[in-house]
Amino acid sequence: MGEDWAINASMVAQRARILSVGTANPPDYYTQQDILDRFRVQNPVVRKIFTASHIHGRYLYLPPETEDGVPRESQSALLKKHRRGALALGRQAIARCLEPEGLEPSDIDFLCCVSSTGFMLPAMTAMYIRHLGFRLDTQRTDVVGMGCHAGLNGMNPVVAWAMANPGKNALMVCCEVNSALYVYDDSIGTGVVNSLFGDGCAAVLIRSAESDEPRFSPRVLGFQSHIIPETWQAMSYHWSDEHGKFYFNLDRDVPYVLGTHAEDPVRALLGRFGLKPRHVQHWIIHSGGKKVIDAIKYTVGITSHDVRHTTAVLRDYGNLGSGSFLFSYQRLLAEGRIQRGDYGLMMTMGPGSTIETALLRW
């Protein structure tokens, strides 16, 4: 396995690296109990979902409290909240990502924004250029409406761009204001969704070096996608005439379906590099929910220790959508246990139903 890569060292050297990561969340943190109290949730099944969901709390942009506990935000107010939240979170996450590298937004040559929690036109990249000091000739792409797995769908073209433009700085920003996408009623379906998602943003700097500068950051060796079209509607947005809002629907069994298929892209991706799951030291998996994490453990054959950051991010933030896996990546780096030559596997899951994977090597 490792030997194959020694042979292809020159090919590996050309791959782009993830140089830095920065994250941000709204200022206010709510435990699950806080949210139940604030919205005076009565349905015992929904209350049970909130307290048993393996989430401690979440950072959210919640609306002001009302007398009867029912939140009142129109769709236009939610779109505004998404835009304002995305700007505030993006500003912080981008600064935290670039600062350790001594860079400013004006040093960025390619900007890719990933978001699914509010439709924007002009796009998020345009808003960031307008407000955050990016150059007017910054090249840009917006990946919108793809869902929780979209961080890797964004990273794939960003890595390709970085490799086609050695020495140039590419920045990907995954920004989700999940509190801008909800319907509030007493049903179990909305209860599941409203108990799960949190607000957060993660930015990563990606560059391929003109010369092979020696530094300790992972190269992105390749990507592998997998879609399960039979369940393409299992996670989906719908318009509610009753509430005058978009809402998100999550089918009950889809976590296990995703888990069952997770083995396919993992084996295919690793197989391209002559590797097996046992050769991967670091698993950087989207914190989709308790069930899907369990399912992946038992199909890919990895342990609770392997998914420790995934479960910890879920516990501390809820499901942050497209940027979730980068929060886990940040925690992995903070542990300081990665060795040169280690492999990491990124995996994100979402609507479609989709599993995206990427292989890293330090």
Instruction: State the minimum distance, in angstroms, from the CB of residue 303 to other proteins.
Output: 9
Is residue 337 a contact point for other proteins (CB under 8 A)? no
Residue 80, phi then psi, degrees to nearest 5: -65, -40
**Which residues, including other chains, have CB under 8 Å from residue 252's CB and lie 6 or more apart?**
none
Q: Tell me the C-alpha distance between 19 and 219, whole Å.
A: 9
Residue 21: other Cβ atoms inside 10 A: 22
Instruction: State the minimum distance, in angstroms, from the CB of residue 52 to other proteins.
Output: 8
Please indicate whether residue 201 is annotated as part of the active site: no
Q: Which of 5, 29, 237, 256 binds other proteins (CB under 8 A)?
A: 256
Is residue 281 a contact point for other proteins (CB under 8 A)? no
Size of the site for other proteins (CB under 8 A): 15
CA distance readout (Å), 268 to 78, 121, 220, 346? 40, 37, 16, 14
Active-site choice (112, 148, 174, 175): 148
Instruction: State the minimum distance, in angstroms, from the CB of residue 101 to other proteins.
Output: 35
Q: Which of 15, 17, 297, 309 binds other proteins (CB under 8 A)?
A: 297
Residue 138: other Cβ atoms inside 10 A: 18
Q: Tell me the C-alpha distance between 142 and 277, whole Å.
A: 32
Decide whether 26 or 288 has the Cβ nearer to other proteins: 288
Q: Where are the alpha helices (DSSP H) in 187-235?
A: 188-194
Is residue 272 a contact point for other proteins (CB under 8 A)? no
Q: Which stretch binds other proteins (CB under 8 A): 66-74, 192-200, 205-213, 252-260?
A: 252-260
Quick one: DSSP state of residue 238? E
Scan residues 123-162 and list those touching other proteins (CB under 8 A). none
Residue 42: other Cβ atoms inside 10 A: 10
Is residue 278 a contact point for other proteins (CB under 8 A)? yes
Is residue 299 a contact point for other proteins (CB under 8 A)? yes
Q: Tell me the C-alpha distance between 321 and 324, whole Å.
A: 6
Q: Which residues bind other proteins (CB under 8 A)?
A: 52, 256, 259-260, 276, 278, 290-291, 294-295, 297-299, 301, 304
Would you name the residues annotated as active-site residues?
A: 148
